[in-house]
Amino acid sequence: MLEGCLREADFLTSEIALVDKEIARYAVENAEIRRLMTIPGVDVTTAATLMATIGDIKRFPSPRHPRRLCRP
């Protein structure tokens, strides 16, 4: 049973690596993601997640509006 779990963990690790590569490939072509990555501590996955969550910034009344979504 343990060996099966380890094989599954290895498989999922390789799948995550493939997804990370796809995100990186997309990020290279996306100016907004590249710009977000200039913020200290924001890597490609974080920047892509922010873009996926926020979407088009123009849908908000002001550029500062999305930060209100982050309040607890």
Report the pLDDT value the prediction gives residue 9, as an integer from 0 to 100.
Answer: 96
Please calculate the CA angle 60-30-46 and round it to the nearest 5 degrees: 70
Phi/psi for 55 (5° steps) reads 75, -145
Enter the pTM of the model.
0.65
| Domain total in the chain | 1
Instruction: Find the domain containing 13 and state its range.
Output: 2-70
Phi/psi for 60 (5° steps) reads -95, 150
Residues 6+ apart with CB under 8 A from 42: 36, 50
Give pLDDT tens digits for 1-60.
Answer: 899 999 999 999 999 999 989 988 988 899 989 999 999 999 998 999 988 888 888 888
Report the pLDDT value the prediction gives residue 8, as an integer from 0 to 100.
Answer: 96
How far apart CA 24 and CA 59 sit, in angstroms, is 25
